[in-house]
């Protein structure tokens, strides 16, 4: 009989991904009286578990994520340590990331519906604004900035939700880069000018990234893939409302004072566009669109995988290392290996419409880091 791998109070069922920092597992957490819950465990790689600087940044990620309690942000519900090293446990999300969704529309030869693009960015803006507004225990601004907003970090669930992933990882990248050679990695095509220049950033860096994402979802192309000047949306897609084109242009102002001051301001404009042009979309409609896009059989399999007793590839031998399953249904959390690869030295070529590579991620490039104050939220207790 096949057996899963015990890991503290968790049972690791299947390796989902492995990158340069950590590995992800589909897992069950067990408790008293038969309690069980399907989740995802993110475990630090053994060769990094003893590096103090790395452990510090990993814990920073957990503390930042633990402070954010919003339905539009993936929930981290446990931080702990086993002999193998530190780990995070997070909710399992049955869905597809926005990058994969955009790829699927390209495969079908049609653009993403404007209503869906507006829904994704509006909901993401709401979640980001909530994080930007968080304050520390002393009432001072928390200074949380995501710094890594991109289609691959926005997940759409088959239940109709939009979730922002990976809060804190960008700050972690910068810290790790400063410790190892003075370099930081980021998705350059989504980074604001001030972030690329390694100047101090605030919430308006995330507003810039939302503008890039919105342009890409609507047009099918990253606005900076071919150069430093973004092509106006209506040149690429004439049916785009003029108000939407102006909103994207305002997000992409190089002068930070000319952008929307907050993600909430951007959201208000996008919601007005949706109302005026009858482009509104409910969560239920989002889920229906996703099921139609990927097929009911695939959607059902992904949802079932998140249920205790659902399909998973387990391995015999008790504590033998689990290996990634080749053919199991894949979710966005199962594809986190790309953002985990912050140690990779190869610059990946960005291809938005190029094929159906399910595990593809936007390229990461290296930019020099200089000393700059980084605001990190105060340490909050995490229940283990």
What pTM does this model have? Answer: 0.78
Residue 372 lies in a domain: no
172 CB-near residues (< 8 Å, 6+ apart): 57, 58, 60, 61
* Residue 154, pLDDT score: 96
**Cα Rg of the chain (Å, integer):** 20
Angle formed by the axes of helices 98-108 and 283-294, nearest 10°: 50
pLDDT tens track of the chain, all 384 residues?
346 889 998 999 999 888 777 888 999 998 877 788 999 998 888 878 878 877 887 787 777 777 888 999 998 888 888 888 889 899 999 999 999 999 999 999 999 999 999 999 999 999 999 999 998 778 888 888 998 899 999 999 999 999 998 875 555 444 544 444 333 344 789 999 999 998 889 999 999 999 999 999 999 999 998 888 888 999 999 999 999 999 999 999 999 999 999 999 999 999 999 999 999 999 999 999 999 999 999 999 999 988 887 777 665 433 345 554 443 434 545 444 444 333 333 323 332 233 333 333 333 333 333 333 333 333 333 333
* Residue 236, pLDDT score: 94
* Residue 372, pLDDT score: 34
Active-site residue set: 148
* Residue 220, pLDDT score: 95
How many Cα atoms within 13 Å fall on the side-chain side of residue 384? Answer: 12
Give the DSSP H/E element, type plus range, for residue 36.
strand 36-44
Residue 211 lies in a domain: yes
Residue 259 lies in a domain: yes
* Residue 32, pLDDT score: 79
- CA–CA distances in Å: residue 272 to residues 118, 119, 154: 10, 12, 22
- Give the angle 325-90-384 at the CA atoms, nearest 5°: 125
* Residue 138, pLDDT score: 84
Residue 275 lies in a domain: yes
Residue 127 lies in a domain: yes
What is d(CA 357, CA 335) in angstroms, rounded to the nearest whole number? 11
- Give the angle 246-249-252 at the CA atoms, nearest 5°: 155
Residue 194: give its domain's CATH number: 1.10.510.10
Residue 377 lies in a domain: no
Residue 83 lies in a domain: no
CB distance 89 to 40 below 8 Å: yes
- CA–CA distances in Å: residue 35 to residues 38, 48, 87, 174: 11, 32, 21, 39
Number of domains, the chain: 1
* Residue 237, pLDDT score: 95
Residue 30 lies in a domain: no
Range of the domain at 150: 102-289
Centroid of chain to Cα 303: 19
């Amino acid at each position: 009989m096949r057996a899963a791998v015990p890991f503290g109070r968790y049972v690791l069922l299947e390796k989902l991904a492995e990158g340069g920092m950590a590995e992800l597992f589909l897992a069950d957490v067990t408790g008293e009286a038969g309690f069980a819950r399907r989740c995802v465990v993110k475990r630090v790689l053994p060769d990094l578990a003893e590096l103090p600087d790395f452990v510090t940044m990993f814990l920073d990620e957990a503390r930042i994520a633990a402070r954010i309690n919003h339905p539009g942000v993936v929930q981290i519900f446990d931080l702990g340590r086993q002999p193998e090293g530190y780990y995070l446990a997070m909710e399992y999300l049955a869905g597809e990331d926005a990058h994969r969704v955009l790829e699927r529309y390209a495969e079908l030869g049609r653009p993403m519906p404007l209503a869906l693009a507006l829904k994704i960015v509006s909901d993401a803006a709401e979640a980001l604004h909530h994080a930007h507004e968080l304050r520390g225990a002393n009432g001072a601004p928390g200074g949380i900035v995501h710094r890594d907003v991109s289609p691959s970090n926005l997940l759409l669930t088959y239940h109709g939700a939009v979730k922002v992933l990976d809060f804190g990882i960008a700050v972690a990248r910068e810290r790790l880069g400063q410790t190892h050679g003075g370099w930081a990695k980021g998705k350059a095509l989504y980074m604001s000018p001030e972030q690329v220049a390694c100047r101090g950033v605030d919430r308006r860096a995330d507003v810039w990234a939302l503008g890039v994402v919105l342009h890409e979802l609507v047009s099918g192309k990253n606005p900076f893939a071919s150069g430093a000047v973004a092509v106006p949306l209506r040149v690429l897609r004439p049916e785009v409302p003029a108000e939407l084109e102006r909103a994207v242009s305002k997000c992409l102002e190089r002068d930070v004072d000319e952008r929307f001051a907050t993600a909430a301001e951007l959201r208000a404009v996008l919601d007005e566009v949706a109302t005026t042009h009858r482009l509104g979309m409910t969560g239920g409609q989002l889920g229906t669109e996703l099921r139609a896009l990927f097929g009911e059989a695939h959607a059902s399999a992904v949802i079932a995988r998140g249920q205790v007793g659902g399909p998973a590839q387990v391995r015999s031998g008790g504590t033998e290392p689990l290996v990634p399953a080749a053919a199991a249904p894949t979710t966005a959390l199962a594809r986190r290996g790309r953002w985990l690869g912050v140690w990779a030295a190869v610059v990946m070529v960005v291809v938005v419409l190029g094929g159906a590579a399910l595990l593809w991620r936007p390229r990461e490039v290296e930019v020099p880091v200089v000393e700059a104050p980084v605001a990190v939220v105060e340490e909050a207790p995490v229940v283990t």
